[in-house]
């Protein structure tokens, strides 16, 4: 992130165009808020940001910095455009993301839900081979005991099919939900949650029966859910942004 | 590793008191966003510094609460700037927050310094 933020300043502030950089930067923040914040409020924020950055650059120039370098530093101190737009949007809408364990709560629910259900159905199949989940009552689970001696190959009953569908569709559904919900940094939120779920799935694999199935689930989360979930949530969020802005290029 | 985060960082100390700081700066007169940030830094001897990107969302919050109001600076005042000033309700909120902060900081100081002196206590 730091590298991309620095490249943004380099891109915005060159020897030729530095006087325009404050306005360019303010335009970027404003463009990110199209469709989220009313136009008059965006215009006001745009003017305030341009004025703020220009004043900061002028003050830095007064301390002896080259104007171009002063503008670059003023922009860096203001922060990356996407973070600024996100803070303003949260303030404007009053919609702050809830966090659990430092992770976005909505993204956690969107990805952990299908994963928990899938592993639940896998466990049902392991504990009660050949029995449909709907038929299982507590006594029958007890009857099978804690260590079923023979585990049949997966039968395509509705429980196993549902588990497979959940495992396959989970990152797409979760990615879609997160991308639709979050106008900003959807991919990063998904990445945080999925990295956490990789660890949880890996650890809980040790407690699953059979162990190989638990390890397989952990690997599936790592090599399939993580990349697909991050990419798809970013893509859905970008498409939603593009629809709001009418296809304006508004990179952060 | 300690369960307790190092809270001696000025950013951590700043968090939670940003409203008080902005209202306190505006008590002395209207100011635009950049001037508010600079004034907080100046008064604190550059120890407290607002991340500029968080200042405008905060000013938006304060305006929505009705604690500040804003207008464009008039002609003849240089480049047009959005200027914020304290409302009556903002002044009351400032008084309330100053009271809470003063009581809290005194309580912390007393703990750090060994507690209040007991009047006529101990032979």
Question: pLDDT band at B85, cuts 50/70/90?
Answer: very high
Chain B residues whose beta carbon lies within 8 Å of the beta carbon of residue A49: 56
Q: Give the closest-approach CA distance of B13 to chain A in angstroms.
A: 19
Q: Give the closest-approach CA distance of A86 to chain B in angstroms.
A: 9
Q: Count of CB contacts below 8 A, A vs B?
A: 50
- B19 in reach of chain A (CB within 8 A): no
- The separation between the first and the last C-alpha atoms of chain A, rounded to the nearest angstrom, is 11
Q: Give the closest-approach CA distance of B81 to chain A in angstroms.
A: 7
- A71 in reach of chain B (CB within 8 A): no
pLDDT of residue A139: 41
pLDDT of residue A86: 87
What digits encode the pLDDT tens for the residues B27-66? Answer: 999 999 999 999 999 998 888 888 777 888 899 889 999 9
- A83 in reach of chain B (CB within 8 A): yes
Question: pLDDT band at B6, cuts 50/70/90?
Answer: low
What digits encode the pLDDT tens for the residues A115-159? Answer: 887 777 666 655 555 555 444 443 444 434 444 444 445 556 676
Q: Give the closest-approach CA distance of B90 to chain A in angstroms.
A: 18
Report the alpha-carbon distance of residue A17 to residue B73 in Å, rounded.
Answer: 28
Whether residues A87 and B53 touch (CB distance < 8 A) is answered with yes
Is pLDDT larger for residue A110 or for residue A16?
A: A110
B82, β-bridge pairs: B72
- Looking at the predicted structure, is the pLDDT value of residue B92 above 90? yes
Q: Comparing C-alpha atoms, which of A4, A3, A54, A1 is closest to residue A25?
A: A54
CA triplet A128, A129, A131: central angle to 5 degrees? 70
CA distances from A252 to A5, A28, A160 (A): 8, 7, 43
pLDDT of residue B21: 94
What digits encode the pLDDT tens for the residues A194-214? Answer: 999 888 887 776 666 556 666
Question: What is the average pLDDT across A41-56?
Answer: 90
- Looking at the predicted structure, is the pLDDT value of residue B78 above 50? yes
Question: What residues 127-156 of chain A have any CB closer than 8 A to a CB of chain B?
Answer: none
Q: What pTM does this model have? A: 0.68
Report the alpha-carbon distance of residue A32 to residue A23 in Å, rounded.
Answer: 14
Percent with pLDDT over 90 in chain A: 17
């Amino acid at each position: 992130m730091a590298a991309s933020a620095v490249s943004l300043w380099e891109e915005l502030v060159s020897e030729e165009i530095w006087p325009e950089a404050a306005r360019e930067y303010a335009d970027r923040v404003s463009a990110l808020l199209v469709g989220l914040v009313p136009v008059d409020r965006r215009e006001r924020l745009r003017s305030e940001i341009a004025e703020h950055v220009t004043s900061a650059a002028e003050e830095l120039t007064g301390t002896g910095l080259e104007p171009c370098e002063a503008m670059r530093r003023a922009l860096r101190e203001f922060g990356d455009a996407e973070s600024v737009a996100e803070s303003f949007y949260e303030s404007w809408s009053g919609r702050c993301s809830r966090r659990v364990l430092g992770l976005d709560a909505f993204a956690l629910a969107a990805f952990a839900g299908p994963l928990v259900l899938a592993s639940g159905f896998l466990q049902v199949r392991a504990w009660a081979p050949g029995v449909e989940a709907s038929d299982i009552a507590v006594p029958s689970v007890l009857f099978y005991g804690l260590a079923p001696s023979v585990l049949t190959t997966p039968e395509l009953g509705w429980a196993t099919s549902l588990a497979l569908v959940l495992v396959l569709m989970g990152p797409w559904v979760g990615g879609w939900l997160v991308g639709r919900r979050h106008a900003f940094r959807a991919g990063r939120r998904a990445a945080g949650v999925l990295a956490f779920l990789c660890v949880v799935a890996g650890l809980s694999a040790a407690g699953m029966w059979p162990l190989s199935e638990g390890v397989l689930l952990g690997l599936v989360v790592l090599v399939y859910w993580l990349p697909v979930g991050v990419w798809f949530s970013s893509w859905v969020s970008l498409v939603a942004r593009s629809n709001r802005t009418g296809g304006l290029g508004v990179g952060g | 590793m300690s369960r307790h985060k190092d809270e001696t960082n000025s950013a951590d100390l700043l968090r939670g008191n940003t409203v008080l700081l902005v209202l306190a700066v505006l008590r002395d007169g209207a100011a635009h966003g950049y001037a508010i940030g600079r004034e907080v830094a100046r008064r604190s001897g550059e120890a407290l510094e607002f991340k500029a990107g968080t200042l405008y969302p905060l000013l938006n919050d304060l305006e929505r609460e009705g604690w500040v109001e804003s207008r464009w600076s008039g002609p003849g005042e240089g480049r047009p700037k959005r200027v914020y000033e304290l409302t009556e309700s903002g002044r009351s909120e400032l008084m309330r927050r100053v009271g809470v902060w003063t009581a809290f900081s005194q309580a912390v100081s007393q703990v750090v310094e060994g507690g209040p002196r007991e009047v006529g206590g101990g032979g």
